[in-house]
């Protein structure tokens, strides 16, 4: 269908009370559904959180994709990011879906009454607002980057409201499979979990019976059945989800891409001895900061202290009590040492525009994750600045980093193995130069965009072949 897009006022229920008296906000609406009429494809990106409010890999990648889409004349992106009550000032009376900071095409989904077991909201008014939002925006593609804080049942609701739209879902971790925080790490012995089953899941969460995990899987599969295409950022994730029950031919690997914050300028080493190491990420259990600190204790005991480690990250409040106590205790001990005896420095959180200055102070990046890390954005960031990575030997990082070619592996969770790797990195002549010379380029947003273009268009391609 051809013709100019009509415009109608943005639904009053979706306008924050604080700006309700302002002139109606207008959103262009196509005359008919589908992508055959207007030249531009309208894509709604549904994001777990907004990266400027809550840091995290899933929301960062979704926002990178949103930014890349805005540079393409044939795509009209719209972002719907959630908040879980972390910023109560956003929750004005009657506000459910609002604009974000006056930015064009960016909206906030103010999640409430969320059930973390069934992953659904019981707020009827919020669901009605979401329906009205879909009917007003009328996208050609709805791309969910998570269901957390929205509800897994919004997939089925979206299909009912927009039967002609292409529905895409990206897995950033394993919460659909694993009720234990989505990490697939067994709570019984902290070992990696290879697959989920009602009995195995009951062992991790004994307060829920095996039948509840069976019902949980049935609930998820019911709503996933309406999705046209799934994506994962790394091949090893596909194996987990196909083993769980997602059809292999519905899953496509699309790498996570980022803007090049180095602007193409590679940095030299931070130190002559290549003995400065950095951690970048969340200070939570599965990211493995505690493994680094235990390795430092081992090396100190062995009398090897000619190295420095800088910790960059935040959200220690989300770590378990035991890990939080271990990290805080170590940092307190370190602060009490004389400056020349300190090995570990905690720099706090950071924004992407601070990456260059922080990367310039280290020679190596350590990714000591103790779960099936799905991708590892910090690996791409390290490559941008010419920093080889030392990582755990499983999951996404191990699949991206070639051991002793462009980085180094160590046994997951093994502080002694990490200590030995740190010592080797500091003392082996030519190692840093050899690994650095083999670093691949970090995946770009353009590469990611090309992957998603293919996924968005797949239905149209298949129809043409029929």
- Tell me: do 69 and 130 sit in the same domain: yes
Whether 12 shows a pLDDT value over 90: the answer reads no
Q: How far apart are alpha carbons 196 and 202 in whole angstroms?
A: 10
State both tokens at 393. 């030997």
219, 74: one domain: yes
Sign, Cα dihedral of 127, 130, 132, 135: negative
In a shared domain, residues 249 and 197: yes
Reported as a single tens digit per residue, the pLDDT across 222-266 is 999 999 999 999 998 999 999 999 999 999 999 999 999 888 887
pLDDT in tens, 388-404: 999 999 999 999 999 99
Q: What is the pLDDT of residue 163?
A: 97
DSSP string, 355-400: HHHHHTT-SEEEE--SS--S--HHHHHHHHTT--EEEESSHHHHHH
* Residue 270, in any domain of the structure: no
**For 95-105, how does the pLDDT look when each residue is reduced to its tens digit (9 = 90+)?**
999 999 999 99
* E strand or H helix at 144: strand 141-144
Domain tally for the chain?
2
Residues 403-455 pLDDT 10s:
999 999 999 999 999 999 999 999 999 999 999 999 999 999 999 999 999 99
Residues 427 and 449 in one domain: no
**Do both 205 and 310 map to the same domain?**
no
The answer to whether residue 301 sits within a structural domain is: yes
Distance of alpha carbon 30 from alpha carbon 421, whole angstroms: 58
267 belongs to a structural domain = no
CATH of the domain at 89: 3.40.50.2000
Give 183's pLDDT tier (boundaries 50, 70, 90). Answer: very high
Assess whether 424 and 288 both reside in one domain.
yes
Residue found under tokens 């035991």: 322
pTM, full prediction: 0.86
- Statement to judge: residues 74 and 169 lie in one domain: yes
DSSP code, position 258: B
β-bridge partners, 166: 141
Question: Which segments within 63-132 are labelled E, that is strand?
Answer: 75-83, 97-99, 106-110, 114-115, 120-121
Q: What is the pLDDT of residues 309-322, one digit of tens each?
A: 999 998 899 899 99
Q: Which two tokens stand for residue 414?
A: 């093994």
Nearest residue to 371 via CA among 171, 203, 174, 184 = 184
Query: In terms of residue numbers, what domain contains 355?
Result: 276-437
Structural domain contains residue 310:
yes
Domain annotation covers residue 415: yes
**Comparing C-alpha atoms, which of 250, 322, 332 is closest to residue 284?**
322
Q: Which tokens hold the place of 465?
A: 């072949």
For 112-166, write each residue's pLDDT tens digit. 999 999 999 999 999 999 999 999 999 999 999 999 999 999 999 999 999 999 9
Residues 410, 371 share a domain: yes
Closest C-alpha to 240, from 202, 285, 203, 193: 193
């Amino acid at each position: 269908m051809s013709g100019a897009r009509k415009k109608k006022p943005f639904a009053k229920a979706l306008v924050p009370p604080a700006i309700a008296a302002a002139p109606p906000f207008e959103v262009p609406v196509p005359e008919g559904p589908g992508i055959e009429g207007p030249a531009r494809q309208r894509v709604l990106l549904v994001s777990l959180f907004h990266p400027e409010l809550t840091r995290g890999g899933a929301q960062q990648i979704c926002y990178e994709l949103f930014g890349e889409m805005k540079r393409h004349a044939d795509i009209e992106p719209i972002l719907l990011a959630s908040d879980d009550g972390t910023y109560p000032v956003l929750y004005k009376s009657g506000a459910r879906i609002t604009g974000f900071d006056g930015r064009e095409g960016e909206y906030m989904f103010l999640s409430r009454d969320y059930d973390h077991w069934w992953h659904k909201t019981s707020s009827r008014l919020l669901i009605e607002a979401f329906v009205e939002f879909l009917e007003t925006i009328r996208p050609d593609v709805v791309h969910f980057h998570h269901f957390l804080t929205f509800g897994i049942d919004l997939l089925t609701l979206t299909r009912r409201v927009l039967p002609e739209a292409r529905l895409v879902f990206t897995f950033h971790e394993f919460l659909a499979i694993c009720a234990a925080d989505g990490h697939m790490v067994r709570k019984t012995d902290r070992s990696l979990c290879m697959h989920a089953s009602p009995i195995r899941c009951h062992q991790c969460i004994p307060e829920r019976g095996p039948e509840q995990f069976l019902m949980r899987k049935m609930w998820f599969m019911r709503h996933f059945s309406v999705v046209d295409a799934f994506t994962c950022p790394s091949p090893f994730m596909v194996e987990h989800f196909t083993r769980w029950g997602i059809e292999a031919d519905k899953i496509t690997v699309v790498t996570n891409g980022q803007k090049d914050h180095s602007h193409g300028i590679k940095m030299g080493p931070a130190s002559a001895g290549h003995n400065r190491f950095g951690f970048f990420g969340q200070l939570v259990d599965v990211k493995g900061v505690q493994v680094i600190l235990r390795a430092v204790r081992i090396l100190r005991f062995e009398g090897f202290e000619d190295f420095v480690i800088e910790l960059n990250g935040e959200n220690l409040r989300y770590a378990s009590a035991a890990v939080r106590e271990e990290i805080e205790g170590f940092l307190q001990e370190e602060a009490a040492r004389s400056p020349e005896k300190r090995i570990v420095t905690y720099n706090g959180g950071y924004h992407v525009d601070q990456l260059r200055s922080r990367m310039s102070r280290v020679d190596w990046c350590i990714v000591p994750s103790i779960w099936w890390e799905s991708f590892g954005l910090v690996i791409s960031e390290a490559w941008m600045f010419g920093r080889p990575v030392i990582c755990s030997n499983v999951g996404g990082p191990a699949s991206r980093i070639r051991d002793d070619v462009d980085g180094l592996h160590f046994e997951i969770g093994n502080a002694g193995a990490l200590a030995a790797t740190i010592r080797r990195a500091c003392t082996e002549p030519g190692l840093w130069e050899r690994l650095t010379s083999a670093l691949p380029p970090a995946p770009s947003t353009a590469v990611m965009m090309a992957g998603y273009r293919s996924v968005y268009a797949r239905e149209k391609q298949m129809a043409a072949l029929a």
